[in-house]
Structure 1
């Protein structure tokens, strides 16, 4: 919850221009970064649900998922979690973030025996075969990664507007 609150604090006071502005032509706007986070959270729910349905429990070794938060480690987003090119309002994205988080919490609440999450795994696009409980952990770490990106974008946009 703390990570999500930090994310919301970073974006809630932005105007539409700041939110949708790009500091480089082929980079993402803050709105797109946030849309990507929504898509990742929703995709993670699907991956965990799929992993739980797999009959043969495949336990895999735990990974150091902390490095997903490291921005010096470049990761290309899979097509399925690439953000839309649409313009978004801050409120639209905050609503989408709230809905995806509620879906995640509701989904996790349906899992009676949480220990099964460490017994089964699904292949993660950046981390490889990953225990399902670490899929949950990577959502928060991934969000921390992108909070840093949002701060960088804000700084770049600010310096661009100051030089005009």
Structure 2
């Protein structure tokens, strides 16, 4: 895994944690609208996506079909005007969360993600194999790794918007 990807994973996670650390329980769990997630739910979704990504990469590595798939320009993921429906497997709990418990879940999922990636001896295989992403289609496995921090950047912007809607003062 390149240093740039590694740096982006760390930087994006640090930015996310900075956005949520000082929130009260009510700010963290408050929903600005009936069809909108709370900040806690957004964060729980990120944990679930990271866990699902480990599974997707593991399944992709087991696939016999080794054809390299077309690389995606998925920076469109950062376009917040384009809405995506979260697959059921990564929909967050509706129960409220404590800020620290979500930070612990985020730290745990990231640790498991890096531990899993470190088990892959030949990282070049990640560019040769692919697995179907629910929103982006067939995606090379190395781009599954990149989508983690891009997805997290997208939702960090969503958290900033929710904070404005809830009138959270920093």
1:123 equivalent in alignment to 2:132: yes
1:23 paired residue number: 32
Q: Is 2:106 the counterpart of 1:100? A: no
Runs of 4+ in 1 over 6 A off after TM superposition: none
1:13 pairs with 2:52: no
Rounded Cα–Cα distance in structure 1 between residues aligned with 2:26 and 2:34? 15
Q: 1:155 aligns with which of 155, 164, 167?
A: 164
Aligned length: 160
Counterparts of residues 6-155 of structure 1 (less than 5 Å): 6-155=15-164
With the length of structure 2 as denominator, give the TM-score of the two structures. 0.92
Structure 1 length normalisation: TM-score?
0.95
Q: Which runs of 5+ in 2 are unaligned?
A: 1-9
Distance in 2, matches of 1:90 and 1:99, equals 14
CA distance in 2, matches of 1:42, 1:66: 21
In 1, the alpha carbon distance for the partners of 2:163 and 2:47 equals 20
Structure 1 Cα separation of the partners of residues 67 and 41 of structure 2? 35
In the TM superposition, what whole-angstrom CA distance separates every residue of 1:44-71 from its partner, at most 9, and x where no partner exists?
0100000001122131010002111211
What's the Cα RMSD here? 1.1
Q: Secondary structure at the match of 2:162?
A: helix
2: CA distance, partners of 1:70 / 1:105: 27
> 1: CA distance between counterparts of 2:67 and 2:90?
25
